[in-house]
Amino acid sequence: MPLMRRPVLRTVGRTAVIAGTASAVAGRVNRRQQNKWAQQDQQQETQQAPSAAPPAAPAADSDELINKLKELANLKEQGILTEAEFADQKAKILAQMS
């Protein structure tokens, strides 16, 4: 009986090696294809992105913006606005000044 097992074990061993190799190759092919598709998607997104920046809105009167900042500061002091809300609104107003 021991002689009968050797050919069976060799066959099982070969099958395992072949299956493992096939899995590794299939995984590698899949990763390469996924990377290729990701690169194509990135290229399409960059081509579709507008090349020129949209025109900036006209700058508001600086006195008006300063008054808005003072109002925001008062709201923050009264506890109506949180620190995060104040910072967010302040950043928007300062961006309009530029």
pLDDT at residue number 78: 92
Per-residue pLDDT of the chain (98 residues; tens, 9 = 90+): 455 556 777 777 777 777 777 777 777 888 888 888 888 888 888 777 665 555 555 555 788 888 988 998 999 999 988 999 999 998 988 888 77
Q: Which two tokens stand for residue 20?
A: 């493992």
Number of neighbouring beta carbons within 10 Å of residue 41 = 10
What DSSP line would sit under the chain, residue for residue?
-HHHHHHHHHHHHHHHHHHHHHHHHHHHHHHHHHHHHHHHHHHHHHHHS-SSPPPPPPPPPHHHHHHHHHHHHHHHHTTSS-HHHHHHHHHHHHHHH-
Against a cut of 0.85, is the pTM above it?
no
pLDDT at residue number 96: 83
